[in-house]
Structure 1
Amino acid sequence: MSWRVGIDIGGTFTDLVALADDGRLVRHKLGSTPRAPEEGLLDALRALLREIAPHEVALVAHASTIATNALLGQMNLELPRVAFVTTEGFRDVLEIGRQNRSAIYDLNVRRPTPLARREDRLVVRERRAPDGAVIVELDAASVAQAVETIRARGITAVAVGLLHADADGAHERVVGDALRAAIPGVEVSLSSEIDPQYREYERFSTTVVNAALAPIVQGYLDRVARGVRDEGVRAPIFVMRSDGGMAALKSASRRPATLIESGPASGVIGAAYVGRALGIENVLSFDMGGTTAKAGTIRHGVPEISASFEAAGSTHSGRSVKGSGYPVRFPFVDLAEVSAGGGTIAWVDAAGALRVGPLSAGADPGPACYGRGDQATVTDANVVLQRSNPRALLGG
């Protein structure tokens, strides 16, 4: 007998479903472990292995919100300090961006602060034409100076985005090699490898987001792989991507930005399956987790896909809203996502206005009604309003 195992980790709960060849189904639901997210997955797997043997597991499919929650500010998932190396004269492209406005009538609308601070955006002397032809050779001294500045500041997550590197990434590779040689353990994302397409702002933004997520996601996936093997499971492990497909761990580690909507995408894929089973082709899916709430559309039985999206703004979104977050140019299941999950923290700003999010209490300490935290969340509001059924908590 062989079993296919699916494990979804959210900011608050971890869910495992195992399906046997004969149709048998096993389910487990546990609290997530945000300080060590892989432990929630391994706890769920251990619960399953009390019922079946490790060699019976034929496949492990994993969906996670770790990348989404890191960008949206979940506690215990702080993004690292990121450096950005670019062509001289282009350090402020990330700041200038496009003239898209998420709220066109709001005179005080705020654009997202770049993940790489201005003092950490360093330049090198070089220039290529749009076809990749060299106009100015890469200056070795400016590369060495940028590398030394990054090393001296202790930054170990670096994005490299040079002008027209989508046509020829040779200069970026030289900078990347210099960084790896000088800084042990540095994670380098090259725009010519991450998003080799024209339009500098989107390419730079995608690469910086990838660099910011790399230390968190790569370390997490390495620990997942080791933990699963330590439990005796030798089955292949795949991770859900934002486009609804699956990726091997090695591929996912190289491009962690493709996993930003890993968990939310799997929810829409599941909703499409349920719709087809019921004979309903056009479906609106809604998924409220512990940290975020997501909505997606399914037309003619197929989830809508967008070629790019914006992450970590007022709304995680694809086609619906532009200008509120960081452009990430990978295909993804088109979603609108907001920081309004069950664990999202309510707070009062300096003007006395009630705000919700983006910070989430997650699973630790969790909502105040769990008895471990003292900050009010959306779940606490529902408890006070008597909207939550105390006899049906944790039912999935």
Structure 2
Amino acid sequence: MPASLIDYRAALSSPGAAGPVCASALGRLPIAMQSLAVLLYVREAQGSYAAAGAVSASLLVGVAAGMVVQGRLLDRLGPTRPLLLLVAAYLVLVTGLVVAIEAAVALPVVLAVALLAGLTTPAIEGSSRALWSDLVPAGPRREAAYTYEAISLETFFILGPALAAVLVLMTPWPGTALVVAAAAEIVGTAWFALTRAVRRRSARIRAARSSGVRTGDGGLLGVIRRPGLQTVALASLGFGLVVGTAEVGVLAAAAFAGAPAAGGVLLSGWSVVSVLAGVLYGLRPWPRSLHLRFPALLGGFALLVTTMGLVSPIGSLALLAVVMMLAGALITPQVTAHSLGVEQTAPTDSATEAFNWVVTAAVLGVSAGQSLAGVSVELLGPAGYAVGGALGTVVAGLLWLRRHGVARATTPVPAGART
């Protein structure tokens, strides 16, 4: 069911929504800022891109693993207490990371501290998304709320890296960006955890557990064992793969055309178009059936990115920009579909864990896509990143074969779980 502009306004102005919305905006700002801040910090402090890349990668691995573990804990214990404990642990470890970088300790030690800092980085993305099921009723307003979540994340991906670069290059100390990112993470998460709506949700989860109600899926893999959610995670993985290849490929194409600085401009415009298109798409989503959106949107996105790669050797940035903006219009609609897919395929009491699995899949896809693009561009030139787009079409084909699993998925609420 499409969401109107009235639904967006109604969702964001729902009773109890203002505090969590503002707090989560601050707490999620560092989502794309922290890793680049660490990379630039280590590069400036130690003069090595290899060491900087290794430390940044170690941090991202910790973040990806921590999202899944934290998601399960937050679903079972409620968000408030675990998030406050994570804030304390993260404060200690990110301080340790700064000290390790400044003291130029051995690289393995810095890698270990970065990994632990990533593991304890508070993952409030899933909790913020899951909270909307308490704040707004199912239907257009909730879909508008999930679209807002996708749009806000896309906005943070625009602002975060740019802010990190400015703080590193324009301030006397290269660690400024990391400290600012950590401060936003700590203050935003603590504020979010202490809002009335989040505390109310935590109390309800604790009451359900104390009454003997079983919450969440058991086992090592938890909720990701559900075939429908596996399909949503596969869609997120494919999306991340294509995005990662495009990000590296566009920079290579701009350098090939003799205007390296244009790469950053194109990527920023790409994200802006994504945000605007996401709002319009929410008014009239297509395809209407959610299980068909995954293969259709990823397939169209992958084909356009493949076309971007094929036109890059021409050296015309204007032509590349036209195709790129068309592709950018399909970014936020996919992220929104992933969020709606979580609601359709995962039980309500595992929403945070499920959403964090989907975000983790995207992070892994981006990392793989960037690595693949780096190798393919080295071997094939600026057209090389078309390989990533082609692989995205393969993933879209797999999603088409698995589409009925999402269509049949249900989210039954365990007996006694309603309050």
State the TM-score, normalized to the length of structure 2: 0.25
State the TM-score, normalized to the length of structure 1: 0.26
Q: Higher strand share goes to which structure?
A: 1
Please tell me whether Structure 1 or Structure 2 has the larger radius of gyration of its CA atoms.
1
- The answer to which structure, 1 or 2, has the higher relative contact order (CA under 8 A, 6+ apart) is 2
Q: Higher helix share goes to which structure?
A: 2
